[in-house]
Structure formats: structure tokens, C-alpha cells
Amino acid sequence: KAGVTQTPRYLIKTRGQQVTLSCSPISGHRSVSWYQQTPGQGLQFLFEYFSETQRNKGNFPGRFSGRQFSNSRSEMNVSTLELGDSALYLCASSVSGRARDEQFFGPGTRLTVL
Amino acid sequence: AQKITQTQPGMFVQEKEAVTLDCTYDTSDPSYGLFWYKQPSSGEMIFLIYQGSYDQQNATEGRYSLNFQKARKSANLVISASQLGDSAMYFCAMRFAGFQKLVFGTGTRLLVSP
């Protein structure tokens, strides 16, 4: 069974640009969560989607948005990039989103904002 | 407030020895799950072990065991017979019933020496 895939793996953008990251969950998984990892703030929850609906949202500005498609694939968009958005963005999927469900993480997309 | 604390920024252990990585948590919610993840330098988060707040026995998964002391709100990870491949960052995380959001600690970097 294929794992969680994220594309692209590496990305370099300049301030003010926007970026879209993609996440394909494990087949059969309907819940997709996104996390931002930085040296200063650690791992922080961005949002979670289940069956194309955003169920939970972390404490991030509106520049960060996402969506989920009917095949459970998810995209995350960051508009008007800032230097502080440089981070590793991790996507995780789980079967149904129950508290006990294991979340399987992808390899991440490393975003550098210049 | 829901918080995970990992007080050991770095730990050193010799190959084949056991090591304990500390994790304490703070929550007033009676239903929660505790997770440990390993993050090698490649960036991917690898699930190691899970403990539910209502589980009566400590979780074990191969060389990994979780020393769960509910009254003290601690969930320490014990790695027996350390291997060189265990060198990585280790994160303790918590999740609550009904929510997919994982709250992570700051992590402990483990270095296993020959």
C-alpha cells in the first residue's frame, strides 16, 4: 500500500508570491491534516479536512488555506508569502479521524521563502 | 491549556543500551491519546507507539514501550537495546477525542553511539 505522498518535496519562492502544496493520502483514508514545522515554533497544526470539509483549524492567519477533493487529496495554499513561512510542511492522513486513529505522515514539503 | 513538555533537548546512549525519553502533559480532558513519533533527518514523521488515557496497561511495540503514569501526567518512551538507526528526533504528542489535531512537544534529539 502506498504511503502519504507530498509534492513538491522542495520549493523556493520569494516574498509576496503564493504557493500551493499537494498531499495524496493513503488509499481509503478520508482525513487529512496539515502541520507546519519550524525551528522556532516547532510543530504546529494548521488544519484538518474530512470528506471535503474543514473540521479543525489551527491558529494561523487567513493567508493559509486549504481544500480537499472528492478523492481525499488535499491542497494547501499560502498567499502573500513572508520570510517566516519558510518551514517544513507535513501532511498526515488517517482512516476516519477518530482520536485513536494513527496518523501517517508524508515526507513533507520544504518551503524556502527568500 | 493543553501542553506537552519534553525537558531533554538531547540524549546520548551507547548501542545496545536502553534509554528513556521523558514526556509530561497537561490537560483537564479525561479522554485523550498519547503518541510518540520518530523524525529522522529526512523529515518524515514515523509513528512509534500509542497510549489511550483509558488503557489499563502500558503500550508496547517491539523495542518501544511507553511508561504511562496517569496521575503524574507522564508518558515516557523507553527504547530497549538501542541501535544506530535510532538516532533521530523523537516527539511526544497528544490528541483529544473528536479532534485530529496533534499537539507536539519540542522534541528530544537522540544520538546512539557505537
Three-class SS of residue B85? helix
C-alpha torsion angle, residues B61, B67, B69, B74 (rounded to 10): -100
B33 neighbourhood in chain A, CB within 8 Å: 99-100
pLDDT confidence bin for B104, thresholds 50/70/90: very high
Contact assignment for B47 to A102 by CB distance below 8 Å: yes
Best residue in B3, B45, B53 for a mutation probing chain A (most A CBs within 10 Å): B45
Residues A88, B91: C-beta atoms closer than 8 Å: no
β-partners of residue B10 are B109
The CA R_g of chain B, rounded to the nearest whole Å, is: 14
Question: Residue B45: its chain A contacts at CB < 8 A?
Answer: 90, 92, 105
Instruction: Give the model's confidence band at B98: pLDDT under 50 very low, under 70 low, under 90 confident, else very high.
Output: low
Mean pLDDT, residues B7-32: 94
State which amino acid sits at residue B82: S
Tens-digit pLDDT profile for residues B29-52:
888 899 999 999 988 899 999 999
Sign of CA dihedral B79, B84, B90, B96: negative
Q: Which of A92, A99, A106 has its CB closest to that of B33?
A: A99
Cell of A52: 471535503
pLDDT tens profile B55-80 = 989 999 999 999 999 999 999 999 99
